[in-house]
Amino acid sequence: MQQIPKEMFQPASVDLSEAEKISKPSLSFWKDVSIRFRKNKLAMFGLVLLIILIFMAIFGPMMTPYDYRTNDLMNTNQPPSAEHWFGTDELGRDIFARTWYGARISLFIGVAAALIDLFIGVLWGGFAGFRGGRTDEVMMRIADILWAIPYLLLVILLMVVLEQGLGTMILAMTITGWINMARIVRGQVLQLKNQEYVLAAQTLGASTARIMFKHLIPNTMGPILVTMTLTVPSAIFTEAFLSYLGLGVPQPLASWGTMASDGVQALQYYPWRLFFPATMICLTIFAFNVVGDGLRDALDPRLRK
The residue ranges of every structural domain in the chain are 109-299
Q: Helices 221-244 and 151-161 sit at what angle, rounded to 10 degrees?
A: 60
Q: Measured between alpha carbons, how far is 87 from 98 in angstroms, rounded to an integer?
A: 11
pLDDT higher than threshold 70 for residue 305: no
pLDDT (0 to 100) of residue 65: 86
- The fraction of the chain above a pLDDT of 70, given in percent, is 90
Contact present, 240 and 114 (Cβ < 8 Å): no
Closest listed residue to residue 238, CA positions, set 165, 152, 160: 152
**What average pLDDT does range 83-106 have in this prediction?**
87
pLDDT (0 to 100) of residue 44: 92
pTM: 0.80
pLDDT higher than threshold 80 for residue 281: yes
Contact present, 287 and 49 (Cβ < 8 Å): yes
Residue-wise pLDDT for 84-93, tens only, equals: 888 888 888 8
| CATH superfamily name and code, 109-299 | MetI-like (1.10.3720.10)
Q: Which residues pair with 12 in a beta bridge?
A: none
pLDDT higher than threshold 90 for residue 45: yes
The number of residues in the chain equals 305
Mean pLDDT taken over the chain = 82
Higher pLDDT, 60 or 253: 60
* Start-to-end CA span in the chain (Å): 47
